[in-house]
Structure 1
Amino acid sequence: MATAAFEEIAETFEFLDDWEDRYRHVIELGKAMPAMDPALQVPATKVEGCASQVWILPQIAGGRFDFQGDSDALIVRGLIAVLHALYAGLPVAEVGAVDAPAELARLGLDAHLSAQRSNGLRAMVARIRDSAAAA
């Protein structure tokens, strides 16, 4: 069910043996992501439950889901980029069917993130799913 962009990340992770290299790759994904306009970083787009500052602004066009996101932490910004690869471009009706924990487990993220980061990641996934369900 994963998008081609997410599959590309998963394939890259298969080639990176060291977790430090994987973390660096996630950070690079975040750095490559377009910055979110600071004017959109408001309480309505802030994701609660994250240790870092995180903002997600869902966007639906032509029945397809997308979002802008940003964080003040590089690794979290990278996690947002991973989630963007997982969800962006999907039909809105399919967003809720994505088994995000299973897909992210393919990357090994579930075993290598701190409890706080894992909670934040779950909060971001919940925001994405809830936004799609409300559309």
Structure 2
Amino acid sequence: MSMPEQARQALEAFEQGKGWEQRARLLMQWGDRLEPLAETDKTEANRVHGCESLVWLVAELVDGQWRFKASSDARLLRGLLALLLVRVQGLTSQELARLDLREWFTQLGLERQLSPSRSNGLHAVLQRMAELASTR
């Protein structure tokens, strides 16, 4: 399975990051790149439950490829969402089902740095993506 160009760029940037402080700064910069979610998309139906912060996830299947949008009220979580989205954009349902997103965050050097609540929140987002992909 190929890796999107933006995902390769993220991986390069995080591989060069030395220590948690630098990675946290990168994480917030990636969060600032996240396309804002329309207020009309911030509905209860799009809310991801299981996160301490408010998180919304919108998915659309276009020509067999998934397009996701996400937002959060927490800055670090927005960064995690941005990194998640660059890895999954344009994948088919089958590719999405095979992708090990925990491994993606390990490659970025972030898996061990996540607090239990952030890790649980991220897992809830991953679960929601899988649910959406399995219903279409």
Range into which the TM-score falls when normalised by the shorter chain: over 0.9
Contact 2:31 2:79 in 1 (8 A): yes
2:71 counterpart of 1:54: no
Whole-Å Cα distance in 1 between the matches of residues 134 and 9 of structure 2? 27
Structure 2: gaps (5+ residues): none
CA deviations over 1:9-49 (Å, ceiling 9, x no partner) = 11111111121111111111111111000111111100011
Aligned residue for 1:78? 79
Structure 2 CA distance for aligned equivalents of residues 128 and 4 of structure 1? 21
C-alpha displacement of 1:3: 2.8
CA distance in 2, matches of 1:31, 1:53: 17
Question: Match for residue 36 of structure 2?
Answer: 35
Distance of 1:20 and 1:86 partners within structure 2: 23
Give the whole-Å Cα distance in 2 for the aligned partners of 1:47 and 1:60: 19
1:7 CA drift (Å): 2.0
Alignment RMSD: 1.1
Deviation string, structure 1 residues 91-116 (Cα, Å, up to 9, x no partner): 22211110111111111221001000
Letter in 2 for 1:76: L
Find runs of 4+ consecutive structure 1 residues off by over 6 angstroms. none
Fraction of identical pairs, as percent: 32
| Structure 1 spans left out of the alignment, 5+ residues | none
- TM-score, reference length from structure 2: 0.94
The aligned residue for residue 94 of structure 1 is 95
Deviation at 1:6, TM superposition (A): 1.6
Alignment: residue pair count = 135
Distance 2:102 2:13 in 1: 19
TM-score (norm 1): 0.95
